[in-house]
Structure 1
């Protein structure tokens, strides 16, 4: 604040405290004379009026306890001369009319970024009020009406600003007073104004204005309406723009003594406004985020893209320093000082340098509320009078582009690895079937080198392969096709993809051939084994079970004829053979992947299985309160075999516990356990450490686990027994 200047205390009433604080911060930054106190309601505003000396009220229209218009009327009733600016985001023509009717000092829309205009209106109104009060005090010291009126007009002119040109003309049309600034602005000869020749001064002014006829008509209209006050803009032929304010000079009794004219050169402001409007039109039309920093690196404008695409309100950004925004939004792994350094270089750049030398580009990751983004920043200075007065920052979202570039690099690396190592052949044909590309490790199996067949016709090279010829012709007709072809005893699963141009024509074919010879041979071997397995199952289920049934019948007849301990041993042998047959059949059929998934509750399945297995004095503990998706019948076989394994290899009173783990469940006993060096063998067919076991139970368990796509491991139980953990179960509900 300069020496002799008075502070301006403003009460800002708005229930949107964030918006009020932003406006207060901006006003105090723009002019250090301002002190802004915030109230969230009209009643709080009245309280501040009683507690402080207030120079101006700035109020929103929508308040929690009454409207801004009602608040204005209440203030006018008590303080009729206190400046009151209605500054609202919920405005309309009706609200504006009501404000004027209620004698509002000014009406401004908040969403028009009117901080500069708001500051100007507050300053004008406060200084006008102070000048009027000074005039009243001086009036008490003067008794001459004309002198009082002239002095009052001069004081009103002074409150407009010392940079204004001032002219006062009396009721007869004679110039009463003027200042040097007026003469300088209009380039009027001293003798004209010294003589009081208003007509000559007007004629000189008409030589300078862009529309002299309209200028003259407006001057005459105002003289014909002596009580009217007016504020307008005047354009000159040399490009300058003056803001003209005029008001009548009247005495206390209403006597008309003439007219006051003030002129303020607003050329630079208009140029800046026009430039900002041009920038704004451009910036609002783009999809990039764009904002403007003032000479203090404060955000004074941001386009709608920020709020539209990223849901960050513009009023949270406007009025903030770029340094504060960098610290808030720049991602943790980035260096905010790198961005600040780029900003500083733009402000410090030589104004006479080329645009490319004054501008900066930088890429940074930022953290927005909905995630992390990567932006490319373009920083450009705005030059006025060989000085950088503002910087335009354009932020282009390159997140998707950088992600695609990274994915393309990764894909290329993966593709190169595949081409170098996988048994595939990549090839391309032109529209006549001539090879233009031939690459891939699969060429080695064919005895070919990369690119060896380029330039050859597929129709000539594989004339004896009608399947290949048909597949190529189909692709050249625009249809994607797939064909398993045999070349020199090798099998290739080949996809033919047509290359279709924008006009719909087929310009060639891209193909990928995968060497599936080993797979095909394995499938054929597996087919033979399955055939043998089916035959084996048939023998087991029919040829072995029939003699066993005959033996069981004979055993019953033998028991009727005699009573011998040997018969008990025969019966146990029959039962063991029956279990062997059942386990063999189960083993033969469990390898197929399961598809009949249902939702099952582990505790219910385990309890049911416990009741079907001979468990002697064993105890079951179920600690798995979990629901999973599984083939219920196979899951029961899994639990029955694990329970039977625990009972057969443990004590008669063994305790079996079934519990839940992160991605599955476990079955644990407190028996003797399984030695660490035997754990890899326990799932082998035929492995058993008891005479009663078949050696197939745990093998069946492993096959059931594999059929579900799960995993099983053996480890020590909590009390030294065996613990089987089944994991990899993704569909679980606790």
Structure 2
């Protein structure tokens, strides 16, 4: 990460914790670089000001223990240049004047809108970047002074007025003057008697200092002669380079001066330094280029050229209009820079995306009129595009979530995203949630349960529970957004409206009560008379042999069979469902062994584990297996497998006609003349007790396929 895009640590001093929290959120929203820590008063703020821990202080004017201007004075005693922004609701010319006198970096009145925080974020960034640039400039100057003192050659630094501001010890050997004596001279002092190698005066605009200052470009290998104070004539080889300030203007010029009348190690050192500089430029992960006033490339260096299909120096001497004939935006931006206006552009070139900055250098005599730097932002652009697309898809999904809501929340338990069709049913909108906590929206009991679950999820532990609100009943699941069991900064909550399902269960319970009564009638009031009739039939057979008695026996057996099925049907309607994790494979194979299968075969094509009542699931499989065997050929094949949302049971028997598929789940309906019609009805009731959706279709190989959806996996 470059220094200019590094995170910015802000100390926000205000006695209102809600305002500090709001400011932290808004600043983070407006600038992804700002990281905010809070302090209630001046004492706490000063205690937090360890060197290097804070990049900027933002303070209210009215503090608990003092005021913002007094805090500023105390901060300045510790750090005279640390950015300090007075962000206050108390605005007056007197406060502003006092703050400016105390050295405040910026002054801004509070406001409730996002625009105020956008301005505050911008001013913080500008102040910190300026401070960092100033610090870097001071560091560069210190390093320069250290380098100058250690370089074996003569090195001097001149300010914009051409005055000597720095010279190392070797300067006296090359220029014949001490550093203090040099401080009284300028680059064009007449006592130098500057001449070219032919002895002719050199015009001011051609002197090395003026060329570097005017063009912003370095000079190398310029030779001219000077006079020492004792009249000795020296020929110097001059190499000069500009030093820029934060605004990109030439702030000073550094020269390396070599007495070429005595070619010694200074020349070799300078050549070695030149080689290292050339290697550095060639390996920079950017594109560096220069363009003259005719639109011709004068420089092209940097590793970034490879992404454009060029080698370093390959386009030098070619015109921009030729190289980028099919990219009008580049030609337009270069033309703007040649007219003296800095330009910036983003281009898709050869499949790579580059951000390019053009800077005019402004001298009619300069070989290069425009310099530019290009940055390969292909990967960053791709990530930004994917992120934006993902956000749009996510928001669309959330906003259209059926029969409930989806909510994202941060480490402060505040909602960052909310949506779903179910919000309107309780009189809320997405905007009502964003930035709020559950305690801001819901009654205490509901809010407390939600916030406890959110904290658990942020700690890495998912939660699931049910709640009632505004006449609706919801099933809520809360999970961390990250790896399971790992603390995270973001959580996700999904709320599903199960009011209708709950009402259906209540209705089923009422039906179960009636079925229990019905079961009592079947088990006692009907079975007992039939048992008596069966006994009397046996006595009648002992007294006479009449073919009518055979028909009576068949009818009685049929009645007892119907009673058994009706009892099973009633029992399934009243059974308590206790879901546990079960294996579809294990349960299906166990049930197959309890059914009269004859020549039928079973194939299990799933290894899924689901949550179900094991006893009820076994009866579901047994009834489906019997149905396939009873209605199919002797060698019928039965398959159990996965389907979207659950599982299926299919056979390759004769199947069920399309016009009967909607009624076969009704009690007493059978496609066989000797069937009781309760097998599939029991299957339907078991599915309903688990809140599963059951569908009957034709199988892939013909026959019957029964699908179960809405099944919860284990």
Q: Name the TM tier (shorter chain).
A: 0.3 to 0.5
TM-score (norm 2): 0.41
